[in-house]
Amino acid sequence: MSTHALLLAEDSPEDYRLILKALQPIVQEEMVVLCNDGVDALDYLFARNGHAARGADDLPGVALIDLNLPKVNGLEVLRELRQNARTRLLPVVILSASSEQRDVRAAALLGANSYVRKPLDYGRLRETVELLGRYWHELNIAPPPPPA
């Protein structure tokens, strides 16, 4: 069983707080890991640098990744995940304020499982995130881990 049900790559402390609050009915706070930039997200998912002590095969059930992350943007994080056999099938949802067609297309071409526009209104954000959480943790059947 994974240590974390969900990885949230989000650089806005306010958005993180609101997203975490919206997820409370579905995912316990200690089951969510926050990475506030793309480098930290990659380090966590590949169990390197500051996250080297955790098991490399201990992946979250889903990764919610913002596009506009510092250091390494969300599309580059997605690209690296899809190039690695161990993380290739990890469910990745791009959760971004951008609804630009070029961003949606780029995420799809890189293998995002979903692209969800992050509403600016808190009530809509709460509803959106709660629906995401319910889908990925109650309805979706995760792919099996790669063979050892």
pLDDT at 147: 66
pLDDT in tens, 44-103: 999 999 888 888 788 898 999 999 999 999 999 999 999 999 899 999 999 999 989 999
Residue 1's pLDDT band (cuts 50, 70, 90): very low
The mean per-residue pLDDT over the stretch 24-35 comes to: 88
DSSP for 36-67 reads SSHHHHHHHHTT-GGGTTS-TT---SEEEE-S
Task: Confirm whether 140 is domain-assigned.
Answer: no
In a domain, 94, yes or no: yes
CA distance 145 to 143: 6
In a domain, 131, yes or no: yes
Q: Per-residue pLDDT for 41 more than 70?
A: yes
Q: Which residues contact 131 (CB under 8 A, 6 or more apart)?
A: none
Question: Is residue 23 included in any domain, yes or no?
Answer: yes
Instruction: For residue 145, tell me if it sits in a domain.
Output: no
Which residue range(s) make up the domain with 16? 6-135
pTM of the model: 0.91
Q: Is residue 1 part of a domain?
A: no
CB neighbour list of residue 139: distance below 8 Å, 6 or more residues apart: none
Q: If pLDDT is split at 50, 70 and 90, which confidence band does 113 have?
A: very high
What pLDDT sits at residue 52? Answer: 87
- Do 142 and 34 touch, CB atoms closer than 8 A? no
